[in-house]
Amino acid sequence: MDEHETQAKKIMVQQKHSLHEEALAKVIKDLEENLARHAAYTGPESIFAHVRANAAALLFLCQERKRDRDKRKGDYTKPAQDLPPSGSDL
Q: What is the pLDDT of residues 68-80, one digit of tens each?
A: 878 777 666 665 5
The whole-number pLDDT of residue 21 equals 82
More confident residue, 33 or 78: 33
Residue 49's CB is within 10 A of a number of other CB atoms, namely 14
First-to-last alpha carbon distance for the chain, in angstroms, is 41
The whole-number pLDDT of residue 82 equals 65
The whole-number pLDDT of residue 76 equals 60
55 by Cβ neighbours in 10 Å (0-12 / 13-18 / 19+) ranks as middle
Q: What percent of the chain has pLDDT over 70?
A: 76
Whether 25 and 67 have beta carbons less than 8 Å apart is answered as no
Q: What angle do CA 78, 82, 86 make, to 5 degrees?
A: 110
Whether 59 and 35 have beta carbons less than 8 Å apart is answered as yes
Q: Give the global pTM.
A: 0.53
Average pLDDT over residues 48-58: 79
Average pLDDT over residues 14-19: 82
Region of 75 please: left (phi>0), alpha (psi -120 to 50) or beta: beta
